[in-house]
Structure 1
Amino acid sequence: MEKWIGFELHPETPASGVKIAELLPEIDLDLMNRNLNANGNSYGVSFKRNDFLPNTRLALEASEFARAYNKFTEFHDRTFKAYFTEGQDIGNIMVLLNLAQEIGLDKAKLEEDLNNHTYAEVVEQNRTAAVKNNVTAIPTFIIADKIRITGANPYSRFQKALEEIIKP
């Protein structure tokens, strides 16, 4: 069974976010963007060059809100597109509220829950579980509690992993 679990990889990120160049000065952002687009091209995915790493805590809380209303997948997909394709700041509460409204979630209720941190405990539990399972990067896929795939991998890597699982 597939279940996406949000993981706050960098909880130390300031609420206002941080410029990637400050966090990772050795990274060539142009090269990184070219590589992302080269890899995404065959899947019809384009990446906007993004110089900014948001604090994702509110986005993770909003994802749990969406899960509670059976809209997790739609919110997850919309949030990823907003950040990676459109370059939006998903650490900004107004951005999250608008994304939620786009997919049919109650914007006012989400705002109330984000301001009250209604889902903060769930986000913390997810982080604790990820650390316990030695998750140190995102994405990390754990398949049948036996195979771990970390980072962006070709489709063939997932096929091979699934074939290993179903071997008699």
Structure 2
Amino acid sequence: MTVQIKVYSDYVCPFCFIGKAAFEEAIKGKDVEVEWMPFELRPSPSPQLDPVNDPSKKYMWQTSIRPMAEKLGVDIKFPNVSPHPYTDLAFEGFHFAKKYNKGHEYNTRVFAAFFQEGQNIGEIDILTKLAEEVGLDGALFKAALEGRTYHDVQRQALKHAYEEADITAVPTFVIGDTVIPGVAGKEVFENAISQEQQKT
């Protein structure tokens, strides 16, 4: 039985990037179908995080985020793009990529661009370059973002996450009937997948 999995995440959430690595290690070779679900932690016009100038955020990075990443073997850098960009455009790009069966590749590229390369994923030109790197048509992609072609699709995705799925924090992994909030080790995901497969 193919296990259905939904992963709610945001591109500027370090815990999402860290959790993604352990999750993807856990699902290798398994009969699963993963759907990536957009979730904006701070949608416009909410105040943007400015971690470079916020001592509490730097402290959290040093004491919580970095040690967790090191423990799980994830290469992550403190993002010097500050304030953090809104992620609505990046997610509209994801919907475009998904249409062309490149959603997963795009997701991975955008996360890496922000947390490993310090790129500003709020800028259309940067997102277009990333889209091209995963094999998407840059001109079509840029036109879709400039024309806000997927604006309503993204609004609906957020409505689903906030109201229907009742997601309050990310990452959240929904594996069949099992909900795993936050970063988890590979074994936790493997156990949840195994339990779902045994239900048939």
Q: Shorter chain as normaliser: what TM range?
A: 0.7 to 0.9
Within 5 Å, give how 1:147-158 maps onto structure 2: 147-158=178-189
1:75-102 deviations in whole A, cap 9, x for unaligned? 1111111111112111111110110111
Deviation per CA, 1:12-42, whole angstroms, max 9, x where unpaired? 3569x541266x753313334522431341x
| Counterpart-to-counterpart distance in 2, 1:95 and 1:150 | 30
Residue 108 (str. 1) matches residue 170 (str. 2): no
128-137 or 59-68, which moves further after superposition? 128-137
* Equivalence for 2:109: 78
Q: Percent identity?
A: 33
CA distance in 1: counterparts of 2:79 and 2:64, whole angstroms: 10
2:119 corresponds to? 88
Q: Which residue does the alignment assign to 1:50? A: 79
Q: TM-score, normalised by structure 1?
A: 0.85
C-alpha distance in 1, partners of 2:128/2:175?
A: 33
The 1-side partners of 2:77 and 2:187 are apart by 25
User: How many pairs align?
Assistant: 162
Paired with 1:123 and 1:30, the residues of 2 have a C-alpha distance of: 33
Name the amino acid aligned to 1:76: N
DSSP-derived class of the 1:156 partner: helix
Name 1:64's counterpart in structure 2.
Answer: 95
List alignment gaps of at least 5 residues for structure 1. Answer: none
The two structures, once aligned, show a CA RMSD in angstroms of 2.2
CA contact (8 A) 1:33 1:47 kept: no
Per-residue CA distance 1:102-128 (angstroms, 9 max, x = gap): 122111111111111101111111111
Unaligned runs of 5+ in 2: 1-32
Which of structures 1 and 2 has the larger relative contact order (alpha carbons within 8 angstroms, sep 6+)?
Answer: 2
CA distance in 1, matches of 2:50, 2:134: 29
